[in-house]
Amino acid sequence: MPDTFRALRVEKDPEQFRCGFQELAPSDLPAGELLVRVSYSGVNYKDGLASIPNGAVVRRYPLIPGIDLAGTVVASSDSRFREGERVLATGYDLGVSRDGGFAQYARIPSAWAVPLPTGLTERQSMALGTAGLTAALAIDRLEANGLRPEQGPVLVTGATGGVGSIAIALLSQAGYTVEASTGKASEHDFLRALGASQILSREDVAPETVRPLEKQRWAGAIDPVGGRTLAFALSSLLYGGSVALVGLTGGGSFAGSVFPFILRAGNLLGIDSAYVDMPTRERLWGKLGAHPLPALEAQIAQEVAFDDLPAALATILRGGVRGRMVVRIGG
């Protein structure tokens, strides 16, 4: 490992907040069994929040953000991982309370590392990243709760975002009829190419007033938006349907009614990919590797140079991303 390496770091003290590139020494990194030379990371909404003063994500400063990373093990004190092996890590405390993926090197607990799944390059794994794992987990939970393609269409909200776009592709590949809602009128062709059969506007799924029971439309929903959209999705479920709640880009609270639950046997499934157990994580990454990803990667991923990462973080906070941004760090 070189004497210094480059990292994007956030610092906060009572006087000021800073987010910028720094040269760090290996001793600046936390302890951990694996030292990883990072090739790619990804830009997630949570990373955007970590890059601003009041994002309410970072739990200690200074910190290297980046909840996703992929790269090569350069030193390991865990016999399960050897030097030269390619790994990825997403979630846990990365980029939140422990230095994450926006650096040329990362030192991580071996318990957080997943061997790079067969079928995926490091770049492809980061084109999926936390968003891909989360979309796969949401579908897994919906299916464990009984969802099947023949039961009816599935709604995906925040459709052009990371979680939304990958969820559409995975659902459509699995034979589901997908209806997608988006605030980007210019991206309907993109959503159809991913597999959406019907496209709704953001307003269609977040009316000013949500009635306790709306017209029954969807057997399931994957919702990265939350807020009024979540209330509407719940009220519009077919009997026995489920909403997998993923995020909050449209609001962190919602006003709902008990009627979708007690009159239509609706379900609200909470999704958290950050601390999902390792067996589930490895199983879902294995499934993601088995999909024909070169096409999906070309459709959803745009590459960002490490130098351009600050601008990319600002873009994701504005809701301006289509698909996923993959950050090339050393790849």
Ligand X SMILES: NC(=O)c1ccc[n+]([C@@H]2O[C@H](COP(=O)([O-])OP(=O)(O)OC[C@H]3O[C@@H](n4cnc5c(N)ncnc54)[C@H](OP(=O)(O)O)[C@@H]3O)[C@@H](O)[C@H]2O)c1
Q: Show the beta-strand stretches assigned E in the chain.
A: 5-12, 17-24, 34-43, 68-76, 86-90, 105-108, 114-115, 154-156, 178-182, 196-201, 218-223, 237-245, 267-270, 301-305, 324-328
Question: Which range in 76-84, 130-138, 139-147, 169-177 contacts ligand X by CB under 6 A?
Answer: 130-138
Sole binder of ligand X in the list 247, 260, 266, 331 (CB under 6 A)? 247
139 is a site residue for ligand X (CB under 6 A) = no
Q: Which is nearer to ligand X, 77 or 302 (CB)?
A: 302
Nearest approach, Cβ of residue 190 and ligand X (Å): 9
Sole binder of ligand X in the list 19, 24, 163, 326 (CB under 6 A)? 163
Question: Which range in 179-187, 260-268, 277-285, 287-295 contacts ligand X by CB under 6 A?
Answer: 179-187
In degrees, rounded to 5, the angle at the alpha carbon of residue 97 between the alpha carbons of residues 96 and 100 is 60
Tokens of 205: 């799924």
Count of residues in the chain: 331
Q: Closest Cα to residue 145, out of 21, 242, 18?
A: 242
In this structure, are residues 168 and 195 in contact, taking their beta carbons and an 8 Å threshold?
yes
In this structure, are residues 59 and 12 in contact, taking their beta carbons and an 8 Å threshold?
no
Nearest approach, Cβ of residue 323 and ligand X (Å): 8
The phi and psi torsions of 326 (rounded to 5 degrees) equal -105, 125
269 is a site residue for ligand X (CB under 6 A) = no
Q: Which is nearer to ligand X, 141 or 291 (CB)?
A: 141
Sole binder of ligand X in the list 131, 168, 170, 194 (CB under 6 A)? 131
**Alpha helices (runs of H) in the chain, residue ranges in sequence order:** 45-50, 122-144, 162-173, 188-194, 227-235, 259-262, 278-290, 293-300, 309-317
Q: Which is nearer to ligand X, 107 or 256 (CB)?
A: 256
288 is a site residue for ligand X (CB under 6 A) = no
Q: Which of residues 205-234 bind ligand X (CB under 6 A)?
A: 224-225
Q: Which is nearer to ligand X, 235 or 273 (CB)?
A: 273
Q: Which of residues 54-93 bind ligand X (CB under 6 A)?
A: none
Nearest approach, Cβ of residue 96 and ligand X (Å): 12
Q: Closest Cα to residue 158, out of 273, 271, 45?
A: 45
- Which residues of this protein are in contact with ligand X, per CB under 6 A? 44-46, 130-131, 134, 158-164, 182-184, 202, 224-225, 246-250, 271-274, 316, 319, 321
